[in-house]
Amino acid sequence: MATLYTQQSKNVQKTWLLMTCFLVMVIFLGWFASLYFGNPTILYFFVAFSILMNFFSYWYSDKIVLKMSGAKRVSREEHRELWNVLENLCIAAGIQMPKLYIINDPAPNAFATGRDEKHAAVAVTQGLLDMLDCSELEGVLAHELSHIKNRDILIMTIVVVLVGFVTLLSDFLLRWSFFGGANRDRGSGQMQLIMVVAGLVLAILAPIIAVVIQLAVSRKREFLADASAALLTRYPDGLASALRKISGYGGELKRANHAMAHMYIASPFKGKHKRGFFAKMFMTHPPVEERIGALTGGRGVDQPNSIL
User: Are 180 and 200 in contact, with CB atoms under 8 Å apart?
Assistant: no
For the chain, what is the domain count? Answer: 2
3-class SS of residue 72: strand
- CATH at 250: 3.30.2010.10
* Catalytic annotation present for 144: yes
Find the Cα–Cα–Cα–Cα dihedral 161, 172, 34, 20, rounded to 10°. 10
63/76 same-domain check: no
Set 117, 136, 138, 144: catalytic member: 144
17/149 same-domain check: no
Q: Which helix (H) or strand (E) holds 109?
A: none
Domain that holds residue 52: 4-67+167-205
Q: Looking at the domain assignment, is residue 308 inside a domain?
A: no
Q: Looking at the domain assignment, is residue 161 inside a domain?
A: no
> In sequence order, what DSSP letters do the residues of 185-230 get, joined into one string?
TSS-HHHHHHHHHHHHHHHHHHHHHHHHHHHHTTHHHHHHHHHHHH
Q: Looking at the domain assignment, is residue 213 inside a domain?
A: no
143/95 same-domain check: yes
270/175 same-domain check: no
What pLDDT score was predicted for residue 46?
Answer: 80
77/110 same-domain check: yes
**What does the pLDDT look like over 34-70, one tens digit per residue?**
776 777 887 888 888 888 877 888 888 899 899 999 9
94/192 same-domain check: no
- What is the rounded distance in angstroms from the CA atom of residue 105 to the CA atom of residue 128? 9
- Cβ-in-10-Å burial (0-12, 13-18, 19+) of 59 comes to exposed
What pLDDT score was predicted for residue 304?
Answer: 43
Higher pLDDT, 195 or 294: 294
Which band of pLDDT confidence, cut at 50, 70 and 90, is reported for residue 292?
very high
196/254 same-domain check: no
3-class SS of residue 101: strand
Which band of pLDDT confidence, cut at 50, 70 and 90, is reported for residue 307?
very low
**What does the pLDDT look like over 254-290, one tens digit per residue?**
988 777 888 899 989 875 444 444 445 456 688 899 9
Is pLDDT at 252 greater than 80 in this prediction?
Answer: yes
238/122 same-domain check: yes
54/76 same-domain check: no
User: Are 243 and 266 in contact, with CB atoms under 8 Å apart?
Assistant: yes
Q: Looking at the domain assignment, is residue 176 inside a domain?
A: yes
- Mention every residue, 6+ apart, whose C-beta is less than 8 A from residue 83: 74, 75, 76, 100
235/137 same-domain check: yes
**What does the pLDDT look like over 68-87, one tens digit per residue?**
999 999 999 999 999 999 99
186/52 same-domain check: yes
User: Are 121 and 87 in contact, with CB atoms under 8 Å apart?
Assistant: no
Of the chain, the end-to-end C-alpha distance in Å amounts to: 21
- Cβ-in-10-Å burial (0-12, 13-18, 19+) of 248 comes to exposed
**What does the pLDDT look like over 206-236, one tens digit per residue?**
666 666 666 666 667 888 899 999 999 999 9
What's the chain's average pLDDT? 79
What pLDDT score was predicted for residue 43?
Answer: 84
What pLDDT score was predicted for residue 200?
Answer: 65
